Structure 1
Amino acid sequence: MINDNLRIMVVEDHPFQLRATQCLLESYGFTHLTTSDCARNALQHMFRAEQPFDILLCDQCLPEVSGIDLIKIASHQGMIKQAILLSSLTSNELSELESQAILNELPLLGYLIKPLKQCELRQLLKLIP
């Protein structure tokens, strides 16, 4: 069973995509969402949070820093427990990023190709220990 009470940080630089992802997550039953349109603001939210976010769901192609680098920073600072990349990159490109995450021991559950689909998200969330 998936925990719908997960605290999720969503980082997406395109306003429409950010709002669409937020709406989809809410329609799936996730209510503890924090959203940010850039890595800098996301890090500020995470730094101020009383506890680590359960999931960092972020776009790979952010203007300030890549999604994988944001995961690295947040993970090394203890601000997240797990992460999921959300992107429109090809499956091969995302698989390469997933390999990099494994080599760097990052808590990446996997990746999702935009647009977000509930069944794929729930499959990744089942991997949470």
Structure 2
Amino acid sequence: MPRYPLRILLVEDHPFQLLATQYLLRSFGFEHLTAAENAAQAIHLMTLAETPFDILLCDQCLPDLPGLELIEIASRRRFVTAAILLSGLAPVELSALKKQAMKRDLPLLGYLSKPLNKDELIQLIQTPSTL
């Protein structure tokens, strides 16, 4: 199995989803994971990090801040290089969020539905800016 050197900050407010997603990511070959349960905790962890995270993988529906807003904060402060939204929202809503991200010049690679699909994740991260 290939190993990926990317440093990922995973933000998910549901404890079971957080554990399950960490397990999936590790099984996909992503070993450098940092987990947060909400936006405030994620911002704190990003502030403490010595270097920016390669990818912010976050839920859109966080209790304290929408995922897209967290991506904007992280991007403007240069805490992350790229981001991917996780969500159970309808594809049309996710597409609208992606358009908003483009208008705001955010480094959103795209979005993924839960549970994660390895092929879709690999396709999103295989860009020159993240590998």
Structure 2's unaligned 5+ residue stretches are: none
Q: How does 1:37-76 map to 2 (within 5 A)?
A: 37-76=37-76
Residue in 1 aligned with 2:100? 100
Q: CA RMSD in A?
A: 1.1
Aligned to 1:125: 125
2:22 and 2:33 in contact (8 A); partners too: yes
Cα deviations by residue, 1:77-109 (Å, 9 ceiling, x for unpaired): 000000000000000000000000000000000
Which amino acid is the alignment partner of residue 45 of structure 1?
A: L
Question: 1:128: how far off?
Answer: 4.1
Separation in 1, partners of 2:17, 2:121: 16
* Structure 1, gaps ≥5 residues long: none
State the number of aligned residues: 128
In the aligned structure 1, how far is the partner of 2:69 from the partner of 2:5?
26
Matched residue type, 1:28: F
Deviation at 1:3, TM superposition (A): 6.8
Question: Match for residue 32 of structure 2?
Answer: 32
* Identical aligned residues as a percent: 55
**Residues of 1 paired with 2:64 and 2:43: CA distance?**
12
Question: 1:35 and 1:10 mapped to 2: Cα distance?
Answer: 5
CA contact (8 A) 2:3 2:29 kept: no
Amino acid in the other structure paired with 2:48? R
Distance 1:128 1:84, change over 3 A: farther
The aligned amino acid for 1:62 is L
Helix, strand or coil for the counterpart of 2:22? helix
Which TM-score applies when normalising by structure 2? 0.95
Structure 1 residue ranges, 4+ long, deviating more than 6 angstroms after superposition: none
CA contact (8 A) 2:9 2:33 kept: yes
Measured against aligned partners, the alpha-carbon deviations of 1:6-50 in whole angstroms (never above 9, x if no partner) come to 000000000000000000000011110000111100100000100
- Offset at residue 127 of structure 1 (A): 2.4
